[in-house]
Amino acid sequence: MADYLSEKKDDSKDRIICNNCGASLKFAPGTTSLACNYCGAKNEIVSQNADVIIEEHDFLETLRKGLSVQQERTVATADCTACGAITTMPPNVTSTECAFCATPIVIKGGTLNETCVLQPKSLLPFAIDQKQGQERFKNWISSLWFAPNNLKKAASVSEKLKGMYIPYWTYDSQTYTIYRGERGTNYTVTETYTDSDGKTQTRQVTKIRWTPASGNIDLFFDDVLVLASHSLPYEHAENLAPWDLPDLVPFDEQYITGFQTEIYQVDLESGFTVAKNKMEEKLKVAIKRDIGGDHQRIHHMDVDFQDITFKHILLPIWISAYKYNKKVYRFLINGRTGKVQGERPYSAIKIALAVIAVLAIIFALYYFSQ
Protein backbone atom coordinates (compact mmCIF):
# COMPACT_ATOMS: atom_id res chain seq x y z
CA MET A 1 0.00 0.00 0.00
CA ALA A 2 1.29 3.47 -0.86
CA ASP A 3 2.22 5.88 1.89
CA TYR A 4 -0.61 7.77 3.49
CA LEU A 5 -1.49 10.88 1.49
CA SER A 6 -0.98 13.78 3.87
CA GLU A 7 -2.80 17.06 3.69
CA LYS A 8 0.34 18.76 2.40
CA LYS A 9 -0.61 21.03 -0.47
CA ASP A 10 1.17 23.52 -2.71
CA ASP A 11 0.52 27.24 -3.05
CA SER A 12 -3.03 26.54 -4.17
CA LYS A 13 -4.96 25.50 -1.10
CA ASP A 14 -7.26 23.21 -3.09
CA ARG A 15 -4.48 21.16 -4.67
CA ILE A 16 -3.33 17.81 -3.26
CA ILE A 17 0.16 16.77 -4.34
CA CYS A 18 1.89 13.46 -5.05
CA ASN A 19 4.09 12.03 -2.31
CA ASN A 20 6.50 10.77 -4.97
CA CYS A 21 7.06 13.78 -7.25
CA GLY A 22 4.97 16.69 -5.93
CA ALA A 23 2.69 16.94 -8.98
CA SER A 24 -1.06 17.41 -8.70
CA LEU A 25 -3.18 14.35 -7.98
CA LYS A 26 -6.59 13.28 -9.23
CA PHE A 27 -8.97 10.68 -7.88
CA ALA A 28 -8.86 7.52 -10.02
CA PRO A 29 -12.44 6.34 -10.65
CA GLY A 30 -13.13 2.77 -9.67
CA THR A 31 -10.24 2.69 -7.20
CA THR A 32 -9.42 3.92 -3.71
CA SER A 33 -6.38 5.84 -4.93
CA LEU A 34 -5.30 9.26 -6.14
CA ALA A 35 -3.39 8.96 -9.41
CA CYS A 36 -0.43 11.07 -10.51
CA ASN A 37 -0.54 11.75 -14.24
CA TYR A 38 3.11 12.85 -14.16
CA CYS A 39 4.96 9.93 -12.57
CA GLY A 40 2.18 7.32 -12.50
CA ALA A 41 2.36 6.80 -8.75
CA LYS A 42 -0.74 5.61 -6.91
CA ASN A 43 -1.41 7.44 -3.66
CA GLU A 44 -3.79 5.34 -1.60
CA ILE A 45 -6.65 7.21 0.03
CA VAL A 46 -6.55 6.71 3.77
CA SER A 47 -9.47 8.81 4.90
CA GLN A 48 -9.76 10.12 8.43
CA ASN A 49 -13.52 9.90 7.88
CA ALA A 50 -13.56 6.21 6.96
CA ASP A 51 -15.09 5.18 10.28
CA VAL A 52 -17.56 8.05 10.38
CA ILE A 53 -21.18 6.89 10.44
CA ILE A 54 -23.32 8.54 7.77
CA GLU A 55 -26.05 10.12 9.83
CA GLU A 56 -29.51 11.41 9.07
CA HIS A 57 -30.15 15.00 10.21
CA ASP A 58 -33.37 16.27 11.76
CA PHE A 59 -35.19 18.27 9.10
CA LEU A 60 -37.44 20.45 11.26
CA GLU A 61 -34.73 21.19 13.81
CA THR A 62 -32.35 22.29 11.06
CA LEU A 63 -34.98 24.62 9.61
CA ARG A 64 -35.76 26.01 13.06
CA LYS A 65 -32.19 26.56 14.24
CA GLY A 66 -30.49 27.16 10.91
CA LEU A 67 -27.16 25.69 9.86
CA SER A 68 -24.48 25.30 12.49
CA VAL A 69 -20.85 26.13 11.88
CA GLN A 70 -20.07 22.40 11.75
CA GLN A 71 -22.57 21.95 8.92
CA GLU A 72 -21.20 24.71 6.72
CA ARG A 73 -18.18 25.10 4.50
CA THR A 74 -16.86 27.97 2.39
CA VAL A 75 -15.88 27.14 -1.18
CA ALA A 76 -14.53 29.09 -4.13
CA THR A 77 -17.11 29.09 -6.92
CA ALA A 78 -17.75 30.53 -10.35
CA ASP A 79 -21.17 31.48 -11.69
CA CYS A 80 -22.26 30.75 -15.25
CA THR A 81 -24.06 33.80 -16.62
CA ALA A 82 -25.91 31.70 -19.21
CA CYS A 83 -27.48 28.83 -17.21
CA GLY A 84 -26.93 29.99 -13.63
CA ALA A 85 -24.91 26.95 -12.55
CA ILE A 86 -22.62 27.57 -9.57
CA THR A 87 -19.60 25.30 -9.62
CA THR A 88 -16.21 24.97 -8.00
CA MET A 89 -13.21 25.77 -10.16
CA PRO A 90 -9.99 23.76 -10.58
CA PRO A 91 -6.92 25.29 -8.87
CA ASN A 92 -5.12 28.06 -10.78
CA VAL A 93 -7.75 28.00 -13.55
CA THR A 94 -9.26 31.36 -14.46
CA SER A 95 -11.22 30.32 -17.54
CA THR A 96 -13.10 27.21 -18.50
CA GLU A 97 -16.25 26.03 -20.26
CA CYS A 98 -19.46 25.49 -18.30
CA ALA A 99 -20.10 21.76 -18.10
CA PHE A 100 -23.86 22.33 -18.19
CA CYS A 101 -24.27 24.66 -21.19
CA ALA A 102 -20.84 24.92 -22.89
CA THR A 103 -20.66 28.67 -22.23
CA PRO A 104 -17.14 30.07 -21.63
CA ILE A 105 -16.53 31.13 -18.02
CA VAL A 106 -13.81 33.69 -17.36
CA ILE A 107 -12.89 34.71 -13.82
CA LYS A 108 -12.56 38.47 -13.92
CA GLY A 109 -9.53 39.73 -12.06
CA GLY A 110 -8.57 36.15 -11.26
CA THR A 111 -10.84 36.09 -8.21
CA LEU A 112 -13.53 33.56 -7.33
CA ASN A 113 -16.69 33.95 -5.30
CA GLU A 114 -16.63 32.80 -1.68
CA THR A 115 -19.82 30.79 -1.16
CA CYS A 116 -21.00 29.41 2.19
CA VAL A 117 -23.00 26.21 1.73
CA LEU A 118 -24.18 23.18 3.65
CA GLN A 119 -21.35 20.68 3.92
CA PRO A 120 -22.14 17.39 2.15
CA LYS A 121 -21.63 14.50 4.54
CA SER A 122 -21.39 11.66 2.05
CA LEU A 123 -20.91 10.86 -1.62
CA LEU A 124 -20.64 8.09 -4.18
CA PRO A 125 -17.14 8.16 -5.77
CA PHE A 126 -16.79 7.84 -9.55
CA ALA A 127 -16.56 4.23 -10.70
CA ILE A 128 -16.62 4.99 -14.45
CA ASP A 129 -13.53 6.85 -15.68
CA GLN A 130 -13.40 9.43 -18.47
CA LYS A 131 -12.19 6.95 -21.09
CA GLN A 132 -15.11 4.61 -20.38
CA GLY A 133 -17.51 7.54 -20.38
CA GLN A 134 -16.07 8.83 -23.66
CA GLU A 135 -16.65 5.41 -25.23
CA ARG A 136 -20.31 5.48 -24.15
CA PHE A 137 -20.60 9.01 -25.48
CA LYS A 138 -19.25 7.96 -28.89
CA ASN A 139 -21.49 4.89 -29.04
CA TRP A 140 -24.53 6.97 -28.20
CA ILE A 141 -23.78 9.60 -30.85
CA SER A 142 -23.03 6.91 -33.46
CA SER A 143 -26.44 5.36 -32.79
CA LEU A 144 -28.34 8.59 -33.50
CA TRP A 145 -30.28 8.85 -36.73
CA PHE A 146 -30.29 12.20 -38.55
CA ALA A 147 -27.67 13.70 -36.22
CA PRO A 148 -25.78 16.80 -37.46
CA ASN A 149 -22.23 16.10 -38.63
CA ASN A 150 -20.70 18.54 -36.14
CA LEU A 151 -22.35 16.62 -33.31
CA LYS A 152 -20.36 13.53 -34.22
CA LYS A 153 -17.20 15.64 -34.32
CA ALA A 154 -17.87 16.63 -30.72
CA ALA A 155 -17.54 12.98 -29.72
CA SER A 156 -13.83 13.06 -30.52
CA VAL A 157 -13.14 15.92 -28.11
CA SER A 158 -12.50 14.38 -24.71
CA GLU A 159 -12.60 17.77 -22.97
CA LYS A 160 -16.30 17.92 -23.79
CA LEU A 161 -16.92 15.22 -21.20
CA LYS A 162 -16.56 16.62 -17.69
CA GLY A 163 -16.82 14.77 -14.40
CA MET A 164 -19.11 16.59 -11.99
CA TYR A 165 -20.28 15.84 -8.48
CA ILE A 166 -23.93 16.90 -8.47
CA PRO A 167 -25.75 17.86 -5.24
CA TYR A 168 -28.75 15.84 -4.10
CA TRP A 169 -30.93 15.68 -1.00
CA THR A 170 -32.30 12.47 0.45
CA TYR A 171 -35.30 12.47 2.79
CA ASP A 172 -36.70 9.89 5.18
CA SER A 173 -40.18 10.19 6.66
CA GLN A 174 -42.81 8.13 8.45
CA THR A 175 -46.21 8.91 6.92
CA TYR A 176 -49.72 8.42 8.24
CA THR A 177 -52.48 8.91 5.65
CA ILE A 178 -56.26 9.05 6.03
CA TYR A 179 -58.15 8.77 2.77
CA ARG A 180 -61.65 8.78 1.29
CA GLY A 181 -62.57 7.44 -2.11
CA GLU A 182 -64.62 4.87 -4.02
CA ARG A 183 -64.21 1.26 -5.01
CA GLY A 184 -65.39 0.27 -8.49
CA THR A 185 -66.61 -3.27 -9.15
CA ASN A 186 -67.30 -4.51 -12.66
CA TYR A 187 -70.58 -6.20 -13.50
CA THR A 188 -72.24 -7.11 -16.79
CA VAL A 189 -75.75 -6.48 -18.11
CA THR A 190 -77.54 -7.61 -21.24
CA GLU A 191 -78.55 -4.78 -23.56
CA THR A 192 -80.91 -4.93 -26.50
CA TYR A 193 -80.13 -2.92 -29.65
CA THR A 194 -81.12 -2.71 -33.30
CA ASP A 195 -78.43 -3.46 -35.85
CA SER A 196 -77.95 -1.82 -39.27
CA ASP A 197 -80.40 -4.30 -40.87
CA GLY A 198 -83.16 -3.32 -38.45
CA LYS A 199 -82.93 -6.57 -36.52
CA THR A 200 -83.06 -6.74 -32.72
CA GLN A 201 -79.85 -8.01 -31.14
CA THR A 202 -78.47 -8.45 -27.61
CA ARG A 203 -74.98 -7.88 -26.24
CA GLN A 204 -73.12 -8.05 -22.92
CA VAL A 205 -72.00 -4.67 -21.58
CA THR A 206 -69.59 -4.17 -18.68
CA LYS A 207 -70.52 -1.47 -16.18
CA ILE A 208 -69.01 -0.26 -12.92
CA ARG A 209 -70.73 -0.20 -9.54
CA TRP A 210 -69.17 2.43 -7.25
CA THR A 211 -69.25 2.13 -3.45
CA PRO A 212 -67.69 4.45 -0.82
CA ALA A 213 -64.28 3.47 0.57
CA SER A 214 -62.10 4.94 3.30
CA GLY A 215 -59.17 3.91 5.45
CA ASN A 216 -55.66 4.76 6.57
CA ILE A 217 -52.15 3.89 5.38
CA ASP A 218 -48.92 3.83 7.41
CA LEU A 219 -45.86 3.94 5.16
CA PHE A 220 -42.18 4.69 5.80
CA PHE A 221 -40.05 6.30 3.08
CA ASP A 222 -36.29 5.83 3.03
CA ASP A 223 -33.83 7.92 1.00
CA VAL A 224 -36.27 9.70 -1.31
CA LEU A 225 -33.81 11.26 -3.74
CA VAL A 226 -34.20 14.88 -4.87
CA LEU A 227 -31.97 16.60 -7.43
CA ALA A 228 -30.71 19.87 -5.91
CA SER A 229 -29.70 21.36 -9.26
CA HIS A 230 -31.52 23.37 -11.92
CA SER A 231 -28.62 22.96 -14.36
CA LEU A 232 -29.46 19.45 -15.60
CA PRO A 233 -32.48 18.37 -17.68
CA TYR A 234 -34.70 17.03 -14.90
CA GLU A 235 -36.22 14.07 -16.74
CA HIS A 236 -32.85 12.80 -17.99
CA ALA A 237 -31.26 13.24 -14.56
CA GLU A 238 -34.12 11.28 -12.96
CA ASN A 239 -33.67 8.50 -15.50
CA LEU A 240 -30.04 8.00 -14.45
CA ALA A 241 -31.39 6.03 -11.47
CA PRO A 242 -30.97 3.62 -9.81
CA TRP A 243 -28.12 4.81 -7.59
CA ASP A 244 -26.40 2.48 -5.14
CA LEU A 245 -27.05 4.72 -2.13
CA PRO A 246 -26.20 1.96 0.40
CA ASP A 247 -22.59 2.33 -0.85
CA LEU A 248 -22.29 6.00 0.15
CA VAL A 249 -18.96 6.86 1.76
CA PRO A 250 -18.26 9.69 4.22
CA PHE A 251 -17.36 12.93 2.45
CA ASP A 252 -13.64 13.41 1.87
CA GLU A 253 -12.02 16.08 -0.30
CA GLN A 254 -9.71 13.45 -1.79
CA TYR A 255 -12.58 11.82 -3.69
CA ILE A 256 -13.42 15.05 -5.52
CA THR A 257 -9.81 15.92 -6.41
CA GLY A 258 -9.62 16.42 -10.18
CA PHE A 259 -13.38 16.91 -10.49
CA GLN A 260 -15.68 19.88 -10.18
CA THR A 261 -18.61 20.14 -7.80
CA GLU A 262 -21.85 21.98 -8.37
CA ILE A 263 -23.32 23.97 -5.49
CA TYR A 264 -26.97 23.19 -4.74
CA GLN A 265 -29.60 25.55 -6.17
CA VAL A 266 -32.58 23.81 -4.54
CA ASP A 267 -32.49 24.57 -0.81
CA LEU A 268 -33.33 22.12 1.95
CA GLU A 269 -36.96 23.20 2.41
CA SER A 270 -37.74 23.39 -1.31
CA GLY A 271 -36.19 19.96 -1.77
CA PHE A 272 -38.60 18.46 0.74
CA THR A 273 -41.54 19.89 -1.24
CA VAL A 274 -40.32 17.85 -4.21
CA ALA A 275 -39.82 14.81 -1.95
CA LYS A 276 -43.39 15.13 -0.61
CA ASN A 277 -44.76 15.07 -4.14
CA LYS A 278 -42.79 11.88 -4.84
CA MET A 279 -44.04 10.30 -1.63
CA GLU A 280 -47.64 11.27 -2.33
CA GLU A 281 -47.50 9.62 -5.76
CA LYS A 282 -46.42 6.36 -4.11
CA LEU A 283 -49.06 6.82 -1.41
CA LYS A 284 -51.74 7.02 -4.11
CA VAL A 285 -50.58 3.65 -5.43
CA ALA A 286 -50.73 2.20 -1.88
CA ILE A 287 -54.20 3.68 -1.31
CA LYS A 288 -55.58 2.23 -4.54
CA ARG A 289 -54.18 -1.14 -3.57
CA ASP A 290 -55.86 -0.79 -0.17
CA ILE A 291 -59.22 0.19 -1.73
CA GLY A 292 -59.15 -2.88 -3.94
CA GLY A 293 -61.81 -3.71 -6.50
CA ASP A 294 -61.50 -3.31 -10.25
CA HIS A 295 -61.27 0.48 -10.23
CA GLN A 296 -60.41 3.10 -7.63
CA ARG A 297 -61.10 6.77 -7.09
CA ILE A 298 -59.33 8.91 -4.50
CA HIS A 299 -61.34 11.96 -3.44
CA HIS A 300 -59.26 13.07 -0.47
CA MET A 301 -56.01 12.13 1.26
CA ASP A 302 -54.65 13.77 4.40
CA VAL A 303 -50.95 12.96 4.87
CA ASP A 304 -49.08 13.52 8.11
CA PHE A 305 -45.27 13.55 7.66
CA GLN A 306 -43.37 12.71 10.85
CA ASP A 307 -39.78 12.02 11.92
CA ILE A 308 -38.40 13.76 8.84
CA THR A 309 -34.65 13.46 8.34
CA PHE A 310 -32.34 14.38 5.48
CA LYS A 311 -28.86 13.96 4.04
CA HIS A 312 -26.93 16.23 1.69
CA ILE A 313 -24.97 14.03 -0.72
CA LEU A 314 -22.96 14.29 -3.94
CA LEU A 315 -23.48 11.89 -6.86
CA PRO A 316 -21.03 11.45 -9.78
CA ILE A 317 -22.18 12.31 -13.31
CA TRP A 318 -20.18 12.64 -16.52
CA ILE A 319 -21.63 15.55 -18.51
CA SER A 320 -21.16 16.72 -22.07
CA ALA A 321 -22.74 20.00 -23.18
CA TYR A 322 -22.68 21.16 -26.79
CA LYS A 323 -24.45 23.88 -28.73
CA TYR A 324 -26.25 23.45 -32.03
CA ASN A 325 -28.19 26.28 -33.69
CA LYS A 326 -27.81 28.34 -30.51
CA LYS A 327 -29.48 25.66 -28.38
CA VAL A 328 -27.74 23.67 -25.66
CA TYR A 329 -27.93 19.87 -25.60
CA ARG A 330 -26.65 17.75 -22.73
CA PHE A 331 -25.53 14.15 -22.42
CA LEU A 332 -25.34 12.49 -18.99
CA ILE A 333 -23.65 9.33 -17.75
CA ASN A 334 -24.23 7.77 -14.35
CA GLY A 335 -20.70 7.80 -12.93
CA ARG A 336 -21.36 4.56 -11.04
CA THR A 337 -23.21 2.33 -13.50
CA GLY A 338 -22.49 3.90 -16.89
CA LYS A 339 -26.20 4.34 -17.65
CA VAL A 340 -26.67 7.04 -20.29
CA GLN A 341 -29.27 9.71 -20.95
CA GLY A 342 -29.09 12.52 -23.48
CA GLU A 343 -30.65 15.33 -25.44
CA ARG A 344 -30.05 15.44 -29.17
CA PRO A 345 -30.57 17.78 -32.12
CA TYR A 346 -31.77 16.73 -35.57
CA SER A 347 -30.30 17.71 -38.92
CA ALA A 348 -33.02 19.29 -41.05
CA ILE A 349 -30.95 18.66 -44.18
CA LYS A 350 -30.58 14.94 -43.48
CA ILE A 351 -34.29 14.59 -42.72
CA ALA A 352 -35.20 16.47 -45.92
CA LEU A 353 -32.88 14.26 -47.99
CA ALA A 354 -34.38 11.14 -46.39
CA VAL A 355 -37.91 12.34 -47.20
CA ILE A 356 -36.89 13.11 -50.79
CA ALA A 357 -35.31 9.66 -51.12
CA VAL A 358 -38.46 7.93 -49.83
CA LEU A 359 -40.68 9.97 -52.18
CA ALA A 360 -38.35 9.13 -55.07
CA ILE A 361 -38.64 5.40 -54.31
CA ILE A 362 -42.44 5.63 -54.09
CA PHE A 363 -42.57 7.52 -57.39
CA ALA A 364 -40.27 5.00 -59.06
CA LEU A 365 -42.39 2.04 -57.86
CA TYR A 366 -45.55 3.75 -59.06
CA TYR A 367 -43.98 4.64 -62.43
CA PHE A 368 -42.79 1.10 -63.18
CA SER A 369 -46.03 -0.44 -61.97
CA GLN A 370 -47.85 1.59 -64.61
Q: How far apart are CA 255 and CA 125, in angstroms?
A: 6
Q: How far apart are CA 3 and CA 42, in angstroms?
A: 9
Strands (E), 195-343: 200-227, 249-250, 260-261, 295-324, 327-334, 340-342
pLDDT for residue 264 is more than 70: yes
pLDDT at 76: 63
Residues forming a β-bridge with 311: 170
What residues have CB less than 8 Å from 224, skipping those under 6 apart? 170, 171, 172, 173, 275, 278, 279
Residues in the chain: 370
Strand arrangement, sheet containing 113-118: 86-88, 72-79, 113-118
Q: Are 165 and 263 in contact (CB under 8 A)?
A: no
Q: How far apart are CA 97 and CA 105, in angstroms?
A: 6
Give the per-residue SS3 of 332-351.
EEECCCCCEEECCCCCHHHH
Query: 268 — phi, psi (to 5°)?
Result: -60, -45
pLDDT at 43: 76
Confidence of residue 26 (pLDDT cuts 50, 70, 90): confident
Closest residue by Cα to residue 230 from 267, 201, 204: 267
Q: Which has more confidence, 370 or 194? A: 194
Q: Coil, strand, or helix at residue 186?
A: strand
What residues have CB less than 8 Å from 366, skipping those under 6 apart? none
- Write out pLDDT tens, residues 224-252: 999 999 888 899 999 999 999 999 999 98
66-72 mean pLDDT: 57
Chain centroid, CA 292 distance in Å = 34
Q: Which has more confidence, 289 or 31? A: 289
- Write out pLDDT tens, residues 111-164: 455 555 677 889 999 999 988 988 888 887 777 776 676 666 655 554 578 899
348-358 mean pLDDT: 70
Q: Are 283 and 173 in contact (CB under 8 A)?
A: no
163-177 mean pLDDT: 95
Strands (E), the chain: 25-27, 33-36, 42-44, 57-58, 72-79, 86-88, 95-97, 104-106, 113-118, 122-123, 161-194, 200-227, 249-250, 260-261, 295-324, 327-334, 340-342
